[in-house]
Chain A
Amino acid sequence: MIFEFSESQLQLKDAARKALDRECPISRVRAVLEDGRPFDRELWQFLAGMGFVGAAIPEAHGGAGAGHLDLCAIAGELGRALAPVPALSSVYLAAELLMQAGSEDQKARLLPRIADGSLLVCVAFSEGVGQPDLHHCRTTQAAGRLSGEKFPVLDGGIADMAIVPAAGPDEDMPSLFIVDLQGEGVSREALTSIDPTRGLARLSFDGAPAEPLGVKGEAGRLLDRAFDRAAILLAFEQVGGAERALEMATDYAGQRVAFGRPIGSFQAIKHKLVDLFVDVTLARSNAYFGAWALSNDAAELGLAASAARVSASEAFIHCATENIHVHGAMGFTWDMDCHLFYRRAHLLSVALGGQAMWQDRLVARAADDRQIAGEG
């Protein structure tokens, strides 16, 4: 039993930290926010060049073939840097779905281009307000053409292709399809995102040509599994962001003086920060177990993923929220970076379905597995 990243993974993490400190300082995230760009394409190309984007994609398909633990280590650093890049859609979801369900031809065609950063693929699962329903949808498919509307779609405005669940006229169970977003029958509209550095869009399909992905009628099962896998990777991002927000708050509390002493010496502030630290520590530990389950395809994957997701969302939102509070009115200004964390934390907490959905999944899994902190 080893509950830590290996030496080489720690080195990779360190290299990613250094590269992102250099290439993606918070000023670069802010520039994306203020320019109204939906993401930073040059940064994505840089990360692809470092081998980070294709870390878990097999070498045969143009990736580094390093495995999911490496990708987890990288994800933590992307989260910490608030990197304005489409890792969740193109890598954690789309590449994973292709690796799990794609034909040899699809993998050979698409994975190398995802890995080198030239192809962006989003996954369009939401159909309006409410938690995503992975097993049903209103979007229809007939004779290889899709009709319907998906929104909000993360990175829908910048992606070249989308993976879309849709059901045939008499089908109960949707199937997955790949749609060329530059092709006919597709229109898209940018939506205003709580975190403008991570863009959202509405995709409308009107007889758009679609290529089947995976077994017919299996969209629900495939997405369920892909969501678990993505949740673990995303949890690392969230923990990375949470950690940095906590560092900001802790630094400020050590410097800002009120009533003749640093505000961090007041227990109301000190204990608040400790509670954040506790959340981050638990979330990171859940994410580590998730990383192991992910890289071993362990039977515990579902439980591990939902625990990692629930605690990471909570930790990031908690840290980002209290970071503003500890900074006082200054924390509420546009020019302080606190709101970048607050925006990202909230976006990520719903991007893969919100807490209500994941709490539900967690309890369903926990009810099947009584080993949670049980006594032999």
Chain B
Amino acid sequence: MDFGDSPEEAAFRAEARAWLAENRPMELEAGLRRFAARDRSNVHLPELDGVDALQASKDWQRRKYDAGWACVAWPREHGGRGASQIERVIWEQEEGIYARLSHVFFTGIGMAGSTIMAHGTDAQKAAYLHPMASGEHLWCQMFSEPSGGSDVAGLLTRAERQADGDWRLNGSKIWTTHAQIADYGLLIARTDPSVPKHKGLTMFILDMKSPGITVQPILQMSGRSTFNQVHFDDVPLPDSARIGPESQGWRVALTTLMNERLLLGSTPSTGVPELIDLCTRVSVGGRPAIEDSGVRASIARWVAQSTGLKYAMMRSISDLSNGRPIGPEYSVGKLVANELIQQVAQFAFDLQGPAGAMVEESEELSQFMAVLLDSPSLRVGGGASEIQRNIIGEQVLGLPQEPRPDKDTPFNETGARQSRQSAGPDRGGNDGG
């Protein structure tokens, strides 16, 4: 057990630090910190006053890529540094707030990249991984549909084989983060409706510039628009864009979904330190809130959860770097972090009394409202908390599954298109298809 650096790790850290000292875009730091205080996700493009954040993100990603600091744990041949998982953690600790400039690429690097590395052809790896790492290509994930996100294997979008062996796509995806700026999408579609729902799916790489695609931004309750609905109207898809065998898409999707949980579980921040700061400044019963025993009891539980979360994630890294399969700790990350973030934001809101309800001038106070308004999305996106609990309950604790009436029925006999029947929780891939 050693939570400190070994000599080699210390050397790696020093190297990272030296490079960052020379290269980080310091002029963006204050803006990134302001954005970070309001947005707890780690897949969003930052919003920076008076700065083209997409360009700034691309510039930073490219600079890292050229120096071998983008995707440090990827193999060199794919654009990485070939570093260990522990070194990746060290890099992330050192990169700190500037990682926000890479978040917009994480759907690609963290999800599509891992999926292509595991299931793609050599040609696909050669074509897509380098530009993904360098930030030249921005990716989105196209799984969820209007008919369902938890039960994603019940999706309706059709890819139909043409006489020439290529495909044609019709249907619609929804809640697609960053579809409006993405170059490519990782897309799962139904290719065979005559078999049970998990068995007729195929995974594709979709070029977002293909004809027949329309992207409609969706206004969210927070007033932002990070996700979209995407319509497909006879979109041509070459067979070379297929990832993995036909009808084996669910197996491929499981890789994506596992990596998605991993990505969304390593939340950059829970808001607990900010809450402690707030508690030294507002008062309860005439004394600083931090001195109130009720306040302390709540904060203590959240501090213990935050530290527990942090070390649970570190322990999973240990497993990874020892070649063991990723431990169950990863699956608790997303569940705990996202519920914690909302609770902390609601507590901070209440501490301010009636003033909590007003949109404050002060950055320090308004951050809590921003997180409060954004936090419902965290518990739903990337697999809702209930689905995460099903996954842990069934895959980690080995508890019996719920009855799933549609699991073994050919998809086109389930009546799916007319009315959605109750279906099992599949986003986590409990069935394994």
Interface, chain A (partner B; CB < 8 A): 1-6, 9, 69, 250, 253-254, 261-262, 264-267, 270-271, 273-275, 277-278, 281-286, 288-289, 291-293, 295-296, 298, 303-304, 306-307, 310-311, 314, 355-356, 358-360, 362-363, 366-367, 370-376
Contact = CB atoms under 8 A, between A and B. Distances in A.
Nearest to A368: B276
Nearest to B98: A376
A359 B96 contact: no
19 contacts: A1-B2, A1-B3, A4-B319, A254-B398, A261-B403, A264-B400, A265-B401, A267-B402, A270-B389, A270-B399, A278-B335, A286-B307, A307-B304, A355-B297, A362-B300, A367-B280, A371-B273, A375-B96, A376-B95
A282 B336 contact: yes
A372 B396 CA distance: 27
Interface string B289-321: 010010011011101111111111011011100
Nearest to A303: B307
A285 B312 contact: yes
Nearest to B297: A359
Contacts of A3: 1, 3, 311, 314-315, 317-318
Contacts of A356: 293, 297
Contacts of B299: 359, 363, 366
Nearest to A374: B273
A264 B301 CA distance: 28
Contacts of A310: 300-301, 303-304
B310 A373 contact: yes
A296 B4 contact: yes
A367 B269 contact: no
Given A1-B3, A289-B311, A359 B400 contact: no
Contacts of A376: 93-97, 99
A271 B393 contact: yes
Contact of B307 (A9, A271, A289): A289
Contacts of B399: 250, 253-254, 262, 264-265, 270, 273
Nearest to B87: A1
Contact of A367 (B290, B305, B317): B290
Interface of B: 1-6, 9, 36, 86, 89-90, 93-97, 99, 267-270, 272-273, 276-277, 280, 290, 293, 296-297, 299-301, 303-312, 314-315, 317-319, 322, 328-329, 332, 335-336, 386, 389-390, 392-394, 396-403
Contact of A282 (B296, B308, B317): B308
Contacts of B277: 370
A273 B309 CA distance: 18
Given A264-B399, A356-B297, A1 B328 contact: no
A281 B312 contact: yes
7 A-B pairs closest in CB distance: A376-B96, A282-B308, A359-B300, A285-B311, A264-B399, A285-B312, A270-B393
Contacts of A292: 1-3
Contact of A270 (B1, B319, B390): B390
Given A1-B314, A277-B328, A359-B296, 19 more contacts: A1-B89, A2-B1, A4-B322, A254-B398, A273-B399, A281-B332, A282-B308, A282-B332, A285-B310, A285-B329, A314-B301, A360-B293, A360-B300, A362-B300, A363-B303, A367-B280, A370-B273, A375-B36, A376-B94
Nearest to B32: A375
Contacts of B93: 376
Contacts of A291: 1
A288 B315 contact: yes
A370 B276 CA distance: 9
A267 B297 contact: no
A374 B273 CA distance: 7
Interface centre among B95, B310, B398 (most CB of A within 10 A): B310
Contacts of B306: 372-373
A358 B309 CA distance: 19
B1 A288 contact: yes
A189 B197 CA distance: 70
Contacts of B319: 4
A311 B308 CA distance: 8
A262 B95 CA distance: 48
A273 B397 contact: yes
Nearest to B336: A278
Contacts of B308: 281-283, 285-286, 307, 311
B332 A278 contact: yes
A271 B89 CA distance: 31
A366 B301 contact: no
B301 A359 contact: yes
Nearest to B3: A292
A286 B304 contact: yes
A265 B94 CA distance: 44
Contacts of B393: 264, 270-271, 273-274
B285 to A, nearest CB: 17
A75 B278 CA distance: 38
Contacts of B397: 250, 270, 273-274, 277
Contact of B1 (A6, A265, A275, A375): A6
Interface centre among A1, A4, A9, A271 (most CB of B within 10 A): A1
A355 B312 CA distance: 22
Nearest to A309: B304
B400 A265 contact: yes
Contacts of B301: 310, 314, 359
Interface centre among A3, A270, A362 (most CB of B within 10 A): A3
A280 to B, nearest CB: 10
A294 to B, nearest CB: 10
Interface centre among B296, B335, B398 (most CB of A within 10 A): B296
Contacts of B403: 261, 265
B386 A271 contact: yes
Nearest to B271: A373
Given A274-B389, A277-B396, A2 B318 contact: yes
A303 B36 CA distance: 25
Contacts of A363: 276, 290, 296, 299-300, 303
B391 to A, nearest CB: 9
A6 B1 CA distance: 7
A375 B335 CA distance: 19
